[in-house]
Structure 1
Amino acid sequence: MTHKPQIKIPAMYMRGGTSKGVFFRLQDLPAAAQQPGPARDALLMRVIGSPDPYGKHTDGMGGATSSTSKCVIISKSSKPDHDVDYLYGQVSIDQAFVDWSGNCGNLSTAVGPFAIANGFIEKSRLPKNGVFPVKVWQANIGKTIIVHTPIQNGEVQETGDFELDGVTFPAAEIVLEFIDPADEGEGDDGGAMFPTGNLVDDLEVPGIGTLKATMINAGIPTVFVNAADIGYNGTELQEAINGDPKALVMFENLRAHGAVKMGLIRDISEAAKRQHTPKIAFVAPANDHVVSSGKAIKAEDIDLLVRALSMGKLHHAMMGTAAVAIATAAAIPGTLVNTAAGGGEREAVRFGHPSGTLRVGAQAEHINGQWVVRKAIMSRSARVLMEGAVRVPG
């Protein structure tokens, strides 16, 4: 029996924020995978090592967590005044599908450095030293992201002293601007920042009851509930949630019913094929607590506590797109996030997450009876972990 040899595909393995993934140039993919469809999905799943019933990704590039089971495809931008198009695929770990329904805010950080290192930006445009704003079209959600990438001696600066909780080592700071980050839902009513028209809704969930919820489309569709309403205090670390099967079922039930109410799906049965969005998160007022590294955080050093789940598990830090949702909701008086942060008008918050703290900002305006957010801003870091080619069976 003759077996086909492996094929080699040029790629970079990159960390962006608290995530990492495999980055490709569109033109380097096999012809069949240069278009959306089953061939592309099958290729990316094989690169990552999914579906893996063992949940280890031993035979692929994935890290068997939602933060490390990701692929990115970069191409010359199809939009005027943009440098690149950025397409993100969240690869399921144990099921055979790729979720294209949202963005990864953390990996957005690495798009700027990747674009520069891979020739999408003309060298003549780059400063010898300084910061270059890579203008990115986020193709999954149709939004603009500006990645302010540091340049040293005409090349991307990766090393530095910027520390990001959830990442062990310091690196160069990269500032992200998410332009007009709201209004990225789907479905009949999913296109508004608040798809139900309310800052706070009563969310009825069989087996749980009726909960107060803020459902927002900003950065990524997110359902926020109060930690106290579901029996938590907001200081929980991963094991407290991920080691409790009943809790995971409860959170998925909440997420599915929130997705229906947001207009993202028609029936809760569809939630299993839309794991990436919406996110489910719970909030609480600031409190003294200890994070996963053992570091103690004082209540006075943060505005509120937030925990969020991604792909069915509590995230070890915070998804970048969920941080945009937090910043946006915090800027709007009356949301659960704003109330947990102490209420009132604000343009920035520092929130506690399982690995530490993060400061995010958003500029919100109330215009003609509607809330509008012009931009959300945060700092992350990124670097190339490996470059060359990935190999997959032919």
Structure 2
Amino acid sequence: MAVHLSVPEFLLPIKGIRLATINAGIRYKNRDDMVLIEAAEGSSVAAVFTRNAFCAAPVTVARAHLAQAPIRYLMINAGNANAGTGSEGLAAATTTCEALAQVAGVNTNQVLPFSTGVIGVQLPVAKVTSALPELVASLTEDNWMKAARAIMTTDTLPKGISKQVSIGGQTITITGIAKGAGMIHPNMATMLSYIATDAQVEASFLQQTLSSVVDDTFNCITIDGDTSTNDALVLIATGASGVAVGENELATFHAALKEVCLFLAQAIVRDGEGATKFIDVQVEQARSREEAHTVANTVALSPLVKTALFASDPNWGRILAAVGRSPIDSLDVSRISIYLGDTLLVKGGQPSPDYTEAQGQAETKKDEIKIRISLGRGDAVANVWTCDFSFDYVKINAEYRS
């Protein structure tokens, strides 16, 4: 069960965006497993993709298409990653784009393909292409919730958020959805996520803003340390509200987009495979944000830390050891303090004389846990969000292809 996360009560439609879902029978029975998102002509589109060298065929095709033409359609399937599939996989991704382009009346390079699911299995092209006419015919603005469900794999619930903000006295809307629960470790974005706004944002501003926001949100989460082959995050600005975002309005838009992305990123961690606890690792007094992030990431990735917290065991020596092996230069342990919630564990590199096991137990029994580490060598701060490792994590991944 997800940690303090529930199904969105509502997701606001975005003018200029239409969506459709269908059960194409790619892998799952009795549920939709394909999504089509249509962006109005003239929309700006920005994206970030996985840096995994074994990136999936749809990632390769999407990158190329994004650089070639104004994008009109996003085509997404769940249940099959079309990754590790070689030249046949690339041909399949291209063929499905060609098929959609023919049905929708656009150029092939105006389609971005996305896939998620099992790696190393060829995409069932015929199932994808046969679903396209019905998908195009059923496009509607009010389908965000259905889309959030259709892109799920091991997720336990759909993830989405809508936010409205005033710019120049006028309201713009941002709505986003995401999927991901395992094979989550960011190296650009992570998982699949689709966000749209009715604001008018020039393409270069849109890409700049998205890349900046990703660094502080999706690039600050981890579940298991595995960067997926298929990670992609797409941001579409339709301009249908008529509200222009220029340099003077960019800070307001940036803050609103960051709030949306942070919610979606943390929702993925809260719904991590087998997760029972949400963990916030904060490192402060570092020389740089990068240094703080490195230490926080090392702690968040530690299986020993994550399993101890699952068991509500305040074995803080595991946290100390992770800090000590972080790949940063000249770490002076005599300056380090470590907190579990409000409880001081280590002060000046030594056990706090006031610490009691009962205090630690009280903190680790919570389903939201804060680990705070002060390095005593600067003023930079970074957070990484993760979850615990439970028995169910092993079970889910052991049985994933069963």
TM-score by length of structure 2 reads 0.22
TM-score by length of structure 1 reads 0.23
* Higher-Rg member (1/2): 2
